[in-house]
Amino acid sequence: MELFEDKGFRVKGTNLLIDPSTTKHSGAILTHAHSDHVNFNEKSKITASQETLDLINVSYKPVKKSNPLKFSKKTNFDNAKISLHNAGHILGSSQVLIEGEKTLAFTSDFKTQDSLILKKAEQLNSDILAIESTFGLPSFNFPHREKIYEDMVSWTKQQLALKRFIVLSGYSLGKAQELTKFCNDFLGISPVVHEKIFENNKVYEKHGVKLGTYYKLNHNLNDSNILIMPPSLAKPTLFYALEQSLGKKVSSALATGWFYRRGHDTVFPLSDHSDFNSSLDYIKNAEPKLVLTMHGFADEFARYIERRLKIPARALNGSSKKQKALIEFA
């Protein structure tokens, strides 16, 4: 069984295509609903979790032909069986297990810590493991999530004590839902959220994820002391406009695994990806005979795997060119 990159990830000898990078295909597996993984056309038959399909329908365009697949349920595909398994990244995010003469596990984007709203990725065992390497350098070593929550509470309460308005910035799908839950559970505050975040929150709640209360942004900044915004909109120009409108200082924080402030006062390493050490632990437990790395620091991570775990590893062709700059997804 051989996995290669060709406008997506393909399994040689089958029609199986995972996370295509083009809309020109008749069908594919979409591992989750972030835009860098979603490409299809009206004739494409999309296999994904129901949660992913619902998020795609809200965020992009309706999927006309779909094959919803529940986690762990196996289905036949050419000469293999495939099944989806929780990746812990965002709602509905899936790892793909392909079983034929050999087994191949494809993590896509995944997280190995429980969060306020999602369970961590399921550990898969396989002969071949294709694993993301977005944070494939030793410098990316995130604190435990509970410690990050504590730091966020401390900083936020300090800003509130100074009578400041707070902007929390996190990607509208995944991170923003955790921030919504954080405000409710740790601060007892119902935040105002951007329209896009509001729509995604509703899909999470449809699938049983309780986020607490929140308000859709609509000229109602006085409804809360906290505003949750996508990073693409949370810029110094916005902070200045808010200060002029509200008549008080604005404090801003960005939630991301990257080391960039992007004009914010502080950054919390709240990532929806596995960090370097957690990824190595996942590989060790999977006991693969070959590891394929993809996204981000693919070449570097493959070399670390061979040195530290003594398992053959290589980067999938071209994969190291992707995701290095996708700050909002991390």
Q: Give the model's pLDDT for residue 329.
A: 60
Assess whether 46 and 132 both reside in one domain.
yes
Classify 32 in phi/psi space as left (phi over 0), alpha (psi -120 to 50) or beta: beta
Model confidence at 15: pLDDT above 90: no
Model confidence at 328: pLDDT above 70: no
Model confidence at 326: pLDDT above 90: no
Last residue of a domain, one of 219, 244, 268: 268
**CATH code of the domain in which 44 resides:** 3.60.15.10
Mean pLDDT of the residues in the chain:
94
Assess whether 215 and 276 both reside in one domain.
no
Per-residue confidence band for 12, with pLDDT thresholds at 50, 70 and 90 = confident
Model confidence at 105: pLDDT above 60: yes
Proportion of the chain above pLDDT 90, given as a percent: 87
Q: What is the pLDDT of residues 205-225, one digit of tens each?
A: 999 999 999 999 999 999 999
Q: Give the model's pLDDT for residue 321.
A: 47
- pTM for the model: 0.94
Model confidence at 64: pLDDT above 50: yes
User: Any alpha helices (H) in the chain, and if so which ranges?
Assistant: 50-59, 145-161, 175-182, 195-206, 236-246, 276-286, 298-309
Model confidence at 312: pLDDT above 90: yes
Assess whether 156 and 249 both reside in one domain.
yes
| pLDDT, average across residues 296-310 | 97
Q: What is the pLDDT of residues 115-144, one digit of tens each?
A: 999 999 999 999 999 999 999 999 999 999
Q: What is the pLDDT of residues 141-173, one digit of tens each?
A: 999 999 999 999 999 999 999 999 999 999 999
**CATH code of the domain in which 167 resides:** 3.40.50.12650
φ, ψ for residue 5, nearest 5 deg: -100, 125
8 A C-beta contact, residue 273 and residue 90: no
Query: How many domains, in total, are found in the chain?
Result: 2
Structural domain for 212, as ranges:
145-268
Assess whether 134 and 189 both reside in one domain.
no
Assess whether 66 and 116 both reside in one domain.
yes
Per-residue confidence band for 324, with pLDDT thresholds at 50, 70 and 90 = very low
Which two three-digit tokens encode residue 89? 């990244």
| pLDDT, average across residues 95-104 | 95
The strand pairing partners of 215, in sequence order, are 192
Per-residue confidence band for 30, with pLDDT thresholds at 50, 70 and 90 = very high
Of the candidates 106, 129, 144, 166, the residue with the CA atom closest to the CA atom of residue 269: 144
Q: Give the model's pLDDT for residue 319.
A: 56
Assess whether 48 and 21 both reside in one domain.
yes
Q: Give the model's pLDDT for residue 325.
A: 43
